Structure 1
């Protein structure tokens, strides 16, 4: 637990976030060098990248962004779909004058990252999808759509995600408690919009990986029941320069529960030669 506490505690508090003037996106920046943009998942906030920011900012200019309606970022209109979140990312890059970036996303952030590669590939040096979803089977699709539909009336389910995302082990206790805290801080309407886009977005760009040329890392936990190893391997097989890495003994929040291994894999990915779009 102590090993996880230290990098999490190194994250600046929300009052240290900066805001883009054009679209009200909140972000935290650290380090110098080639830019690396980090996008978290539904219900989280940029603080969830603390273990990665602490290490990757030693060699890169790291920009972690609060997704719309999360943390301190302005929400998108109610009902916005995945394409709107991808378009939002493009406006963030414009606001920060970032012409070409390395891009890593977790969960919903992974869907946005995949959409970015499909929509503006010339701006993406390398892409990493952590715990990304890809073409859910019928049962998983029905379950996630049902969860999305229930949010406006039942509110934000905290216990469900935590039970799916983590094992009940002592090592993940800090990450579990932080996840509960971040979910409890969410606005219900913003959460419903993001979760709806996440639930319906697993096929939006699914056929576009065959066009991707940039180095593409697909990483997930071996025990993740929703962002499965089979999904990561399927995307990697489609991308021309894609490869999968599976972290055994972990589930959905691998960047928090296996930070050293995730950081090592991301550093290796950042060293891969660029491939022109």
Structure 2
């Protein structure tokens, strides 16, 4: 993978990994992760696509946003990044927080998107679920970081998941705490920001999650896919939140099918 640093406005930079040639596929990871968190997809899909996996603001080597940044600020950042790539419309996939960003770009700037994929995304949380993530965000802002709890929630004890769990643990322990807290707060408050805009998404939209993900539930996936004009839901059995790492074969198969879907050439007015 080739590491690249792309200058953005206000003296900020976006750092990303790139491999392969062909249609551009931009990948945005979740909170606490980094560009490398897409390694099974980079390895597989770069044989046919120009895969661009970017560090989210405040993660890896990408410049952080303002501490009070909300989801819309992260979406604006993604739009600026895609425009700076100067690669034309891209295929855009996001995981967890990255999926909220990807959906926000698809809603507000459909001209930049060929296809959009939402992996383990959230959509209209219950009041109980929202309270839990807001509490987690408050803990992070106070300087407390709990690595063990998400690891237990995301991975089981099977030997096949051990390597992925170790990688995720290393990323969580090395993340910049302020950048992590900013992104998590935006994530905690972001599940309804673009929810009403899903009906405007006309491009092929893949919505994928694991059947055992208690926060990015199958019901959320079905609702998002049903709201989009060309949505398709995939629920992978017996998998949790880090499904792109724990079930790479199934995820890569779903992504390839999505990437082979004919783009919809329709002009959709961006939402204000």
Q: Same fold (TM over 0.5)?
A: yes
2:78 equivalent to 1:92: no
Match of 2:55 among 43, 47, 66: 66
- Distance across 1 between alignment mates of 2:172 and 2:145: 8
* C-alpha RMSD over aligned residues: 0.9
The alpha carbon displacement at 1:154 in A equals 4.1
Equivalent residue number for residue 19 of structure 1: 5
Match of 2:23 among 34, 37, 40: 34
2:180 equivalent to 1:191: yes
- Distance across 2 between alignment mates of 1:218 and 1:168: 27
Pairing of 1:113-152 with structure 2 (within 5 A): 113-152=102-141
The alpha carbon displacement at 1:98 in A equals 2.5
Equivalent residue number for residue 215 of structure 1: 204
- Distance across 1 between alignment mates of 2:7 and 2:107: 26
| Normalised TM-score (structure 2) | 0.95
CA contact (8 A) 2:210 2:238 kept: yes
SS of match in other structure, 2:203: coil
The alpha carbon displacement at 1:94 in A equals 1.8
CA contact (8 A) 1:167 1:250 kept: no
Q: Is there any run of 5+ residues in structure 1 with no aligned partner, and where?
A: 1-11
The alpha carbon displacement at 1:168 in A equals 2.3
Q: Is there any run of 5+ residues in structure 2 with no aligned partner, and where?
A: 267-272
Match of 2:151 among 162, 171, 174: 162
- Distance across 1 between alignment mates of 2:97 and 2:189: 11
- Distance across 1 between alignment mates of 2:170 and 2:201: 37
Equivalent residue number for residue 241 of structure 2: 252
Equivalent residue number for residue 261 of structure 1: 250
Equivalent residue number for residue 269 of structure 2: none
Superposed CA offset, 1:138-174 (max 9, x none): 1101000011011122422111211221222221111
- Distance across 2 between alignment mates of 1:56 and 1:133: 25
**Which region of structure 1 is more displaced relative to structure 2, 137-146 or 168-177?**
168-177
